Amino acid sequence: VKNELGRDAVILRTRSYRKGRLWGLFGGRNVWEVRASANDRQIEGTYYPHPHEGARQPIDVPAPQNARSDVDAQVGQIKRMVEALLTMQSAPTQMPTELKALREHLGQQDVHEEIAAEILKDLSLNLTGKELEDPRVLGECLVEKLADRILTRDCSDKVDGCRISALIGPTGVGKTTTIAKLAANHKLREGKRVGMITIDTYRIAAVDQLKIYAEIIDVPLHVVLTAGELKSAIESMRDFDVILIDTAGRSQYDRLRLSQLSGFIKAADPHDVHLVMAATAGRAAMNSTLERFVQLGANSVIVTKLDEATACGSVLNIADAGKLPISFVTTGQDVPDDIQPADARRLARCIVEGN
Ligand code: GDP
């Protein structure tokens, strides 16, 4: 398969069956069927177990267009898992004790196995035996490696005119609370002119919640029902420094509402589209959220509820799976204090030191 498709090829499926007269019941011979994929094409072919019996016959099978990126993503993930497992299997004999202890620690910090395996591999290649035995050197190097993988985005940089930020994400992750924290910090600590907009297509209680925050922080809040109203609300606050847009929580499983949300995002044309994700979410929920919401143009992630997560590793997992930079992390329900701009080294230290 690698000869045919190159070194990145991955076997998707194999099966063996008997081919020959009367469905293989009498006579015939064993055949292996192999389906494999590389980045841009798939092949399917039959291989006979004894080279002298017959030649392989790979047939090019074009992957279905819309499924290709899904397949690529899944194949990539499976490949990394398999590599991680192989590293794990070889671990007992080959891995130095210090790295084994690190692997356990990263596991306790909820870092996904394949990421931990890549980091350990990296460390073992870059550090000498002596350095591996020095906990200080090992710890520092681990912080570096982890920080390298946590991309961050500085949202305090200057933009031309008013900075527009929208928060999207599933319900209950903390969007409204985070908007209130951001608004309060911009207004009360940085002295900026701040406006808030909420999209109320379903008349949910979140609007009332934001109204209360708007009154306390003393910033105007526009409640809009359509993309046109959203544009007008933005226009009316063009001379402000910051406009924050809250979007009603959308279940990531609801495609119709997501497309509606996509229309709002296009109309607002924000500088920042923060995808809000809770550090407490499990792996399946995390992947499904990323899959649905990244399409809406998210360009950064806000990780919430870090205080409720058992460990900090989820930040690394989210950064790694989403390939999006982290802009802020939130660590509690208190408005405005429990929010910080993401700091890769600080988050890496949190994983290494376990707090
Ligand atoms: P939304 O539906 O995404 O707008 O979520 P909300 O802002 O209404 O928040 C849902 C719940 O999560 C509320 O009880 C918030 O107080 C809580 N919450 C938000 N951020 C955090 C956080 O960083 N830590 C903790 N522990 N709770 C949070």
Q: Whose CA is nearest to atom 20 of ligand 1?
A: 174
CA of 135 to the centre of ligand 1 (A): 38
The pLDDT, as a whole number, for residue 53 is: 41
Place of tokens 């922080």: 217
Tell the residue nearest (CA) to atom 5 of ligand 1: 174
Report the residue among 202, 301, 333 best suited for mutation to probe ligand 1: largest number of ligand atoms under 8 A from its CB: 333
CB 222 within 8 A of CB 195: yes
Q: Which of 132-136, 140-144, 349-353 is predicted least confidently?
A: 132-136
Give residue-wise pLDDT tens across range 63-86. Answer: 444 556 666 776 776 666 666 666
Give whichever of 93-97, 109-113, 252-256 has the largest mean pLDDT: 109-113
Greater confidence (253 vs 66) lies with: 253
pLDDT value for 154? 93
Tens of pLDDT, residues 173-222: 999 999 999 999 999 999 999 999 998 666 566 688 889 999 999 999 99
CA–centroid distance, residue 177 to ligand 1 (Å): 6
Of the listed ranges 9-13, 48-52, 195-199, 334-338, the one predicted with least confidence: 48-52
Q: How far is the CA of 173 from the centre of ligand 1 (A)?
A: 6
**Residue 12: per-residue pLDDT:** 74
- Tell me: pLDDT of 283 over 60: yes
Instruction: Compute the distance from residue 332 Cα to the ligand 1 centre, in Å.
Output: 8
> What is the number of the ligand 1 atom nearest to the C-alpha of 177?
7
Q: Whose Cα sits closest to atom 6 in ligand 1?
A: 174
Amino acid identity at 307: D
Q: Are 139 and 352 in contact, with CB atoms under 8 Å apart?
A: yes
Q: How confident is the model at residue 242 (pLDDT cuts 50, 70, 90)?
A: very high
Q: Which atom of ligand 1 is nearest to the CA of 339?
A: 23
Over the chain, what is the mean pLDDT?
A: 83
Best CA proximity match to 317, nearest among 141, 113, 169: 113
**Pocket of ligand 1, beta carbon within 6 A:** 171-177, 206, 249, 304-305, 307-308, 330-333, 338
* Cβ–Cβ < 8 Å for 304, 173: yes
CA distance readout (Å), 269 to 197, 245, 273, 297, 348: 14, 11, 9, 10, 33
Cα maximum dimension of the chain = 86
268 exposed, middle or buried (CB, 10 Å; 0-12, 13-18, 19+)?
A: buried
Distance, CA 111 to ligand 1 centroid (Å)? 23
Q: Which of 177, 257, 304 to mutate to test the pocket of ligand 1 (most atoms within 8 A of CB)?
A: 177
Residue given tokens 């940085």 in the structure block = 190
> Does position 353 have pLDDT exceeding 70, yes or no?
yes
Ligand 1, atom 28, residue with closest C-alpha:
333
Ligand 1 geometric centre to CA of 175 (Å):
7
pTM comes to 0.75
Ligand 1 geometric centre to CA of 174 (Å)? 3
Long-range contact pairs involving 153-158 (C-beta distance under 8 Å, separation at least 24): 153/299, 153/300, 153/325, 153/326, 153/327, 153/342, 154/341, 155/272, 155/300, 155/327, 155/328, 155/341, 156/341
Res 55 pLDDT > 50: no
Determine the atom of ligand 1 nearest the C-alpha atom of 169: 3
